[in-house]
Amino acid sequence: MSLAKIEPLLQAKLNHLQQQGVRKGDEKIVTGVLPPSAGFGPRYRLQGYDKRVFLRMNSNSYLGLARHPAVIEAETRAAEEFGAGPGAVRFISGTYAPHVELERRLAAFHGRESAMLFSAAYATMVGVLPQLISEQTLVVSDALNHNCIINAVRLAHPAGKAIYAHSNISELENILNTNRDRYQRVCVVTDGIFSMRGDHAPLAELAACCASHQDDYAEGIVTVVDDSHGIGAFGKTGRGTEEVTGAQADILIATLGKSFGVNGGYVAASATTIAYLRETAPLYIYSNPITPAEAAAALAALDVLESPEGLQLLERLRDFSRKLRSGLQQLGFETLSGEHPIVPLFIRDTAKTAALVAHLFDHNILATGLNYPVVPQGDQEIRLQVSAEHTGKDLEYLLNVLADFRQ
């Protein structure tokens, strides 16, 4: 069939995104990585900019484990043993020993009975959340939750939806109070670390609020936390928002594609919950898993994270995150306090955000601007992301470039 009739409509939507200032445009293609040199961290080559090398301040690889020799060696060795791909979905013949061992280790790492791998963290949320939602379920969500949560709720078609203002437990309390006679079950879902701001959910207060209302609903209240930006980047041992707040969600979702430096997502929960999800989550049942080699690489990354080296990387990450925040504040920029390596630089204007991103790129720094409707109107920002691969000289260079923009 011809696309002639629909393509003008598609182009109109692209034009509208361009007018809004939120069209992503062509992707920048990495063609090479230069190792650390002269006190600076790694630099990246981009297609079309062959004479330039770039400092990457927009990577989720918080611990730099994607380039860790032990992680690369583990993936190489497993690929040679098991092949490049799994060759089937899990329940047919696609379950390999590294998958099972990684699930066991992740469950133990998070103090859960069981864990389950998915192809990505986004797929995990979209695969898991609808299976927890019945025709008598109210879903309650933080206003700044990630797109994966928003779409998972849409796919689930719950009986009711409610949104509380960002991290506002009083509003959550009011929602639970006013709906006690209308629904059988409640599912409260939140990010752990909010990906645009680097702040964390008040999980202890949220869990206490939900616990106090458990008896108001025949099927109780289930708490779900997506801590993809928290695991391996937040907390003394990298256990994320749960570690920092001293509280635990009923169901934890996270990724292998950020601090672990590999690929894939996972859910950790009770043994019964995981057994149920293996039988019901379509994005698990009908999708190939991560490769055995990726699972082996993630196991090696977890080994590093749980070692003295991992603790040193986490301390380095916290130190650099504090230094960047302090440097931004000294320059007169607005940011948020905290220790997470997502360091928001609030510009609060779409045109100015684009101008600063361009200024950074002109000075060989890769950074991501976030404009409305990706973030609320007035919250336009540049999301700077610190990595343990960065050095003090990298941060000094970044701050000097930002200072030039202010003059």
Distance from CA of residue 237 to its chain's centroid?
A: 18
Report the candidate in 325, 327, 368, 369 with the shortest Cα–Cα distance to residue 349. Answer: 369
Cβ-contact 372, 350 below 8 angstroms:
yes
The catalytic position among 195, 259, 321, 387 is 195
**Residue partners of 42: CB distance under 8 A and separation at least 6:** 33, 34, 35, 36, 56, 67, 389
Q: Is 229 a catalytic residue?
A: yes
Coil, strand or helix: which one is 83? coil
Q: How far is CA 98 from CA 53, 175, 275, in A?
A: 36, 43, 19
The catalytic position among 110, 213, 258, 340 is 258
Cβ-contact 206, 169 below 8 angstroms:
yes
User: Looking at the DSSP assignment, which residues form a beta bridge with residue 365?
Assistant: 55
Q: Is 195 a catalytic residue?
A: yes
| Burial classification of residue 24, based on how many CB atoms lie within 10 Å of its CB (0-12 exposed, 13-18 middle, 19 or more buried) | exposed
CA distance 126 to 20: 28
Report the candidate in 229, 223, 170, 226 with the shortest Cα–Cα distance to residue 199. Answer: 229
Report the candidate in 399, 106, 40 with the shortest Cα–Cα distance to residue 256. Answer: 106
Q: Is 258 a catalytic residue?
A: yes
Largest Cα separation within the chain, whole Å, is 66
The catalytic position among 68, 229, 340, 390 is 229
Cβ-contact 159, 296 below 8 angstroms:
no
Rg (CA), the chain: 22
**Residue partners of 376: CB distance under 8 A and separation at least 6:** none
Report the candidate in 362, 403, 357, 350 with the shortest Cα–Cα distance to residue 383. Answer: 357
Residues noted as catalytic: 195, 229, 258
